[in-house]
């Protein structure tokens, strides 16, 4: 990739998107996937890891199915002139046979690199993840927790975020949560995670071309305002590209010291004060 000019935004990479048609609750058709892919390109994204649900309610979705349909989707986009690289992956519900299926390759790591795994908790509760992180480490994989800001259990105890990050868990905040599309609490918690320097990825978690479309630029621009350009690029460009290429991510840049500390204090008071009430 050619180096960008000093003020030119690098291309975005999305590590969480339900772009494959007819496989889960995401895109319903090849035409909708085509529309979503064009939206991503228009928004500045050049690479996406598709992440259909696996395990939980989607135990029958196999790794080979995802790989095959990803290949078909790439051919479909190429034939229609949409310049988007599509890589296989999965949004993996934490389940009793997850480690065995990851080890066999039936559950997919992101970009199928056998390095990073997108982990999904049940939306209504939090369960300790340290044992899961240790199991992943033993098979050479790193966990990325998807949309912690929308998990009801974490909303009740947001202090677990810092301890999970210290335990080696990477965090992926949903772009639409960050800009307020999912309501006040996910917005507050998402910004709290980002402004503390605990967010490694902003991603779309897009599910359609009209409802929950794939938008990263708004979140990138807000992150640039709140925490500075280096961290915004790390979350939207550098870190997700490292994952797509199977590389370790670098340490996060420091949060810009002149960021909106008033917002951060307000969010902390809202989250922790409300839980203690």
Domains of the chain: total: 1
pTM, full prediction: 0.91
pLDDT at 9: 79
pLDDT tens profile 201-233: 999 999 999 999 999 999 999 999 999 999 999
In a domain, 259, yes or no: no
Neighbours of 18 (CB within 10 A): 24
Nearest residue to 243 (alpha-carbon basis) of 6, 92, 48, 21:
48
| Residue 3 falls inside a structural domain | no
Distance CA(45)–CA(38), nearest Å, equals 9
Q: Which domain holds residue 97?
A: 12-251
Looking at residue 129, the DSSP 8-state letter turns out to be -
Interval 152-167: pLDDT, tens: 999 999 999 999 999 9
pLDDT per residue as tens digits for the range 235-251? 999 999 999 999 999 98
Q: Does the residue 188 lie in any domain?
A: yes
pLDDT tens digit string along 49-96? 999 999 999 999 999 999 999 999 999 999 999 999 999 999 999 999
Q: Is residue 123 part of a domain?
A: yes
Res. 277: pLDDT tops 50:
no
CA distances to 13, 63, 159, 251, 270 from 170, in Å: 16, 23, 15, 11, 24
CATH number for the domain harbouring residue 220 = 3.20.20.140
Q: Percentage of the chain with pLDDT > 90?
A: 87
Q: Is residue 107 part of a domain?
A: yes
Q: Examine residue 228 and state whether it is found in any structural domain, yes or no.
A: yes
Indicate whether 263 pLDDT > 60: no
245, part of any domain: yes
Please report the pLDDT score of residue 262 as a whole number: 47
Tens digits of residue pLDDT in 143-200:
999 999 999 999 999 999 999 999 999 999 999 999 999 999 999 999 999 999 999 9
- 272 falls within a domain: no
- Mean pLDDT of all residues in the chain? 92
**In angstroms, rounded to a whole number, what is the distance separating the alpha carbons of residues 81 and 73?**
12
Indicate the helix (H) or strand (E) that contains 261: helix 261-276
């Amino acid at each position: 990739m050619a180096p960008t000019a000093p003020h030119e935004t690098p291309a975005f990479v999305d590590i969480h998107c339900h772009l494959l048609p007819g496989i889960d609750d995401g895109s319903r058709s090849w035409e909708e996937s085509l529309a979503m892919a064009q939206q991503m390109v228009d928004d500045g994204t050049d690479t996406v890891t598709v992440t259909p649900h696996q395990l939980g309610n989607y135990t029958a979705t196999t790794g080979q199915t995802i790989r095959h349909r990803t290949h078909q989707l790439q051919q479909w986009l190429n034939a229609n002139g949409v310049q988007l690289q599509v890589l296989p992956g999965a949004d993996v519900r934490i389940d009793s046979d997850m480690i065995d299926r990851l080890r066999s390759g039936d559950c997919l790591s992101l970009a199928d690199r056998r390095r990073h795994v997108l982990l999904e908790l049940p939306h209504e509760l939090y369960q300790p993840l340290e044992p899961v992180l240790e199991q992943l480490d033993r098979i050479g994989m790193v966990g990325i927790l998807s949309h912690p800001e929308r998990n009801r259990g974490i909303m009740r105890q947001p202090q677990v975020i810092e301890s999970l990050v210290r335990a080696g868990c990477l965090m992926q905040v949903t772009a639409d949560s960050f800009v307020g599309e999912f309501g006040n609490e996910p917005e507050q918690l998402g910004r709290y995670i980002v402004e503390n320097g605990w967010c490694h990825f902003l991603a779309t978690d897009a599910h359609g071309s009209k409802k929950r479309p794939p938008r990263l630029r708004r979140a990138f621009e807000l992150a640039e305002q709140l925490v500075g350009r280096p961290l915004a690029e790390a979350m939207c460009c550098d870190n997700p590209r490292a994952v797509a290429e199977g590389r370790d991510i670098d340490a996060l840049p420091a949060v810009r010291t002149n960021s909106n500390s008033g917002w951060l204090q307000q969010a902390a008071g809202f989250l922790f004060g409300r839980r203690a009430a």
